[in-house]
Homo-oligomer: A and B are copies of this chain.
Amino acid sequence: MGNNGPVVAIVGATGAVGTTMIDIIDARESVPWSEIRLIASPRSAGKVLRVRGQDITVQALAPEVFDGVDVALFDVPDEVSAQWAPIAAERGAVAVDNSGAFRMDPDVPLVVPEVNAANASERPKGIIANPNCTTLSMMAVMGALHREYTLEALVVASYQAASGAGQPGIDRLQAEIAAVAGKDVGVRSGDVAAALAEAGLPAESPFPAPLALNVVPWAGSVKDDGWSSEELKVRNESRKILGIPDLKVSATCVRVPVVTTHSLVVHATFASEVSVDAARKVLAEQPSVVLRDDAAAGEFPTPADVVGGDPTYVGRIRQALDFPNTLELFVCGDNLRKGAALNTYEIAETVAAGL
């Protein structure tokens, strides 16, 4: 780390996203930072974490920790970001926020570098927002296709991983899998729930129903007319990132028993005709997209292959038989990497380059 480079702070360094952020920084060939500060709650203060060969002591979040900081990455719950990102900005840092606190604020750009990097420099509040992981999982793919064919409508069904609910989500799924293993459950109503209770798992869970051997059609909080916050985020954030205010979007968000990596089935309608071959060619050219699409050879992306990697994977590309100008796609992205820490870090690199 150079001595003259900017100073970066990772707020929420001990969480699921923060830990992945550290992995990403560790794996970078070089980083622009002269100093890396790790911040979390008082619960974690004093913990020592190793980053690029250096032991760094986690500090409790406080206004002073931002003194001298150029870029502050926020990987903490919404309410913590809402309170503290403005404080970091006030103290002179550019805050890059992974929470939902600022994404739809008209004075805060919502950035996916391969789609709208230029927006990162218009930040009147000193805050840049990172999209929700579900939206982000398809943005590199949809952004590339939109540039060529002009996107008009998206119908999306998600297959969201447990780690979308942070480290508690991962822990819960792993405990549930252990509780049902070797038992003949999932064959009678309620037998999965009974197996979890029998194994001593608390009724309190990050998920509103058992997740092992199940799928749960709910993620986020309750919004008007039966929509979940997660579903409305896919609509609102896709519109803002792609710069299509009237993009038609309908999403249904479903949690699945996968540890990490969100998948999406996308039915995408464009203004102009698009063939499968042309779409494949466009996607194969994107540096951050991997095309895995040969059904006859058994090639398609799955979370178990994609997890731990940076790119967005896409496959199962088909021309809809009964809907004009429409493609069906299956997209997978690691929700902790491109879906959160990686995209945030890429924004931070963009900001650092412009400092």
Which residues from chain A sit less than 8 Å from chain B, CB to CB? 153, 155, 157, 159, 174, 177-178, 180-182, 184-193, 208-210, 212-218, 222, 225-228, 235, 247-250, 252, 254, 256-260, 263, 265, 267, 276, 293, 295-296, 298, 300-309, 315-323, 326, 328, 330
Contacts and interface: CB of A to CB of B under 8 A. Distances in A.
A209 B95 CA distance: 41
Contact of A184 (B174, B215, B252, B326): B174
| CB-CB nearest 10 A-B residue pairs | A186-B259, A181-B181, A157-B157, A248-B322, A157-B265, A214-B304, A188-B308, A217-B330, A192-B304, A252-B265
A226 B319 CA distance: 9
A230 to B, nearest CB: 12
Given A177-B212, A209-B298, 20 more contacts: A174-B182, A177-B180, A186-B259, A186-B304, A188-B308, A191-B304, A209-B302, A213-B259, A214-B303, A217-B265, A225-B276, A226-B276, A226-B293, A227-B318, A235-B321, A235-B322, A249-B322, A252-B267, A252-B330, A267-B267
A304 B306 CA distance: 27
Contacts of A303: 186, 213-215
Contact of A256 (B215, B293, B321): B215
